[in-house]
Amino acid sequence: MSDSRTVPVCYRHPDRQTYLSCSECGRHICPDCSYDAPVGQKCPECVRSAGAQRVVQARSITSKPSFQTSPVVFSLVAINVAIYLIGLVSPSTELEMLRNYAAWSPAIEAGEWWRGLSAAFLHGGTMHIIFNMYFLYIFGPRLERQVGSVAFSGIYLASAAGGSLATYLFGPANSLSVGASGALFGLFGAWLYAAYRQRGSAAGSAMFNQLGAILLINMALPLFIPNIDWRAHLGGLATGIVVAFLWEQIAARRGNARQMRAVIAFAVLVGILVLLATI
């Protein structure tokens, strides 16, 4: 039989059990006391010190991920799995997709800049897509609910393109890369930046340490597993951190924060695609 006294309670409503905590000060808050931040949530006192923000509804934070709450995440999973299954059923189609849409450096150099995005929807094997889609399911839904579906789409695509740009610039001259890893590391980068900003609180410090450990493990994997494009991982990670930084500096505490986040993310995406098309 569990002891309810071990369950934290809202600091403003002691009768309400909650596992939510303020991303700024670390105090536990119930959904009714939770306000939206660029990534995470804040208590009323921290919000008042920074200006009014949008209230987070309880189900948007605590509910199980679903298509209703995270439509972009579930659509991305469906699209990636469908493309992989098509290639699995028809090897000739898979080969054609790789020829035309993989991030192949000579083709990008010849002007096929769109490969920097299309490669994120191709995967090289069953474990590859299973791992990537699980990663997306873990790190994607809550970020989409926090920043909005359009902004989430922007950071995902920008990070995918950022990963391809890093491979193109720093990889072998004849490199060929596929997979959503760059995009996923971009989502990870956004969470890592948020945790770094909140590291002064107990909750933020714990989150930062956990994400740091996960990052170190993933950075070490190319030492033991061949054919992992670590350059795409770093490029996506850097892109996600940059977008999250711009969200914090430009969009936070604005009444139109969600729209501003979307504009910022897609502006970064366009900038990266321009680089792929011109350098």
pLDDT tens for 84-132 read 999 999 999 999 999 999 999 999 999 999 999 999 999 988 999 999 9
Instruction: Report the DSSP beta bridge partners of residue 176.
Output: 104
Please state at what angle helix 181-197 crosses helix 126-147, rounded to 10 degrees: 40
- Do residues 190 and 243 touch, judged by C-beta distance below 8 A? yes
Question: What CATH number has the domain bearing residue 216?
Answer: 1.20.1540.10
Compute the mean pLDDT over every residue in the chain, rounded to the nearest whole number. 84
Same domain, 262 and 187: yes
DSSP 54: P
Q: How far is CA 260 from CA 236, 244, 273, in A?
A: 21, 12, 20
Q: What is the pLDDT of residues 191-232, one digit of tens each?
A: 999 888 877 777 777 777 888 887 887 777 766 666 778 899
Percent of the chain clearing pLDDT 90 (strictly above): 53
Same domain, 164 and 215: yes
Q: How far is CA 211 from CA 2, 141, 192, in A?
A: 29, 17, 6
Could you confirm whether 181 is annotated as catalytic? yes
Same domain, 178 and 236: yes
Same domain, 55 and 81: no
Same domain, 94 and 224: yes
DSSP 124: S
Q: How far is CA 63 from CA 53, 106, 116, in A?
A: 21, 45, 34
Instruction: Report the DSSP beta bridge partners of residue 202.
Output: none
Helix (H) or strand (E) holding 277: helix 257-278
Q: Which of 28, 123, 128, 233 is catalytic?
A: 233
Q: What is the pLDDT of residues 44-87, one digit of tens each?
A: 777 766 554 444 444 444 457 778 889 999 999 999 999 999 99
Domain of 115 in residue numbering reads as: 71-278
Is 56 inside any structural domain?
yes
What one-letter code names the amino acid at 111?
G
Q: Which of 118, 181, 201, 205 is catalytic?
A: 181
Could you confirm whether 28 is annotated as catalytic? no
